[in-house]
Amino acid sequence: MPVFSASQLEPLASGIFRGAGAPADIADRVAHSLVVSNLMGHDSHGVLRIPSYLEAIEKGTCVPSARPTTQEETATTARIDGNWAFGQITAHYATEVAIDKAVGAGVAAVTFLRCNHIGRLGEYTEQAARGGMVAFMVGGTFNGGAVTPYGGAGRVMGTNPIAFGVPAGEEGPVVTDMATSVVAEGKLRVARAKHVPLAPGVIVDKDGNPSIDAEDYYAGGMLLPFGGHKGYGLSVVVDLLGRHLTGGDKLAGDEAVSFGNFMFVVKVDAFRPLAEFQQVVSGRLEQIKSVKKAPGFDEVLVPGEPERRTMAQRERDGITLPEDTVKDLSSLADRYGVAMPVAR
């Protein structure tokens, strides 16, 4: 498969978004977010998403020049309207608002609606963690569902991701970011682009039968919640916070094809000195990593560590893209007059 560097993909993505009407700063921010996802190994949230973002622009559900605004706020809360901007633009704005409020008040909670796909939730909990905050974030979707509830055979839940960020030492923040379905829907897009089968237990077809063919999902099948009833339980909580606490259930018509997000941040210094906390977190992580290894394992990794390692490797060796993704990007580059980089 073709291999590209991040320095090739970012200008490509930014150029396409600019051609579609995004100002330079917005185009650069969204492009950077997508390529960093590729660097971290989360190709499901990388440049593979560009065609669907362009589709949203064409449908009018994404306004490439739009910027979010704060609708209501107190010293510790804010309700943010994305105004149909790119999701990454709204999510970064909301995170900055939450951090600023928590710096002064110790805690903050924000909600944001009328935005598009925001990418990895971990991007924003890590942003908060690097600002000295412990962060918790959920994202509910209102797009008709992708996941069947435990014991059911019908699309009614979103993939409903949940993420945490905790400041640590020099090794970087602890970041846990996961869909409450077995995998994020984007992982199915990757398998589809690569023409490879899924692992068993990820999806069922439209009749509720187990399948390993990603095409069965796009023909009306369903993702399964991870861990059976336990993942389903978390998914319900994310749905209630992201879809209902935010007021997303009030949206109607085209607005209902949206994402509702809730973020809560706590200033570490409100409870103990940040440097002291980071030191004890680092020590605790070392204790966890030093446990006896299970058969077949060489080491124990902590959340956030696989992404940092993958980033270092891909910054050195490049990002491999499926042929189908390269064809899609090349077509968009032609459409918007952007030079398509040559693979390594």
Cite the residue boundaries of each domain of the chain with CATH code 1.10.1530.10.
1-62+320-344
Cite the residue boundaries of each domain of the chain with CATH code 3.30.1370.60.
66-181+225-271
Tell me the CATH number of domain 66-181+225-271, given options 3.20.20.210, 3.90.1530.30, 3.40.50.2000, 3.30.1370.60: 3.30.1370.60
d(CA 341, CA 35): 14
Q: Which of 127, 132, 94 is nearest to 111 (CA)?
A: 94
pTM of the entire structure? Answer: 0.93
For residue 322, give the 3-state DSSP assignment. Answer: coil
One-letter identity of residue 66: A
Going residue by residue through the chain, which has 344 residues, state the pLDDT in tens, using 9 for 90 and above: 899 999 999 999 999 999 999 999 999 999 999 999 999 999 999 999 999 999 999 999 899 999 999 999 999 999 999 999 999 999 999 999 999 999 999 999 999 999 899 999 999 999 999 999 999 999 987 556 899 999 999 999 889 999 999 999 888 999 999 999 999 888 999 999 999 999 999 999 999 999 999 999 999 999 999 999 999 999 999 999 998 899 888 876 655 556 789 999 999 999 999 999 999 999 999 999 999 999 999 999 999 999 999 999 999 999 999 999 999 999 999 999 999 999 98
Domain covering 1-62+320-344: architecture: Orthogonal Bundle (1.10)
Q: Where are the alpha helices (DSSP H) in 85-184?
A: 87-105, 122-130
Which residue in this structure is represented by tokens 């669907």? 52
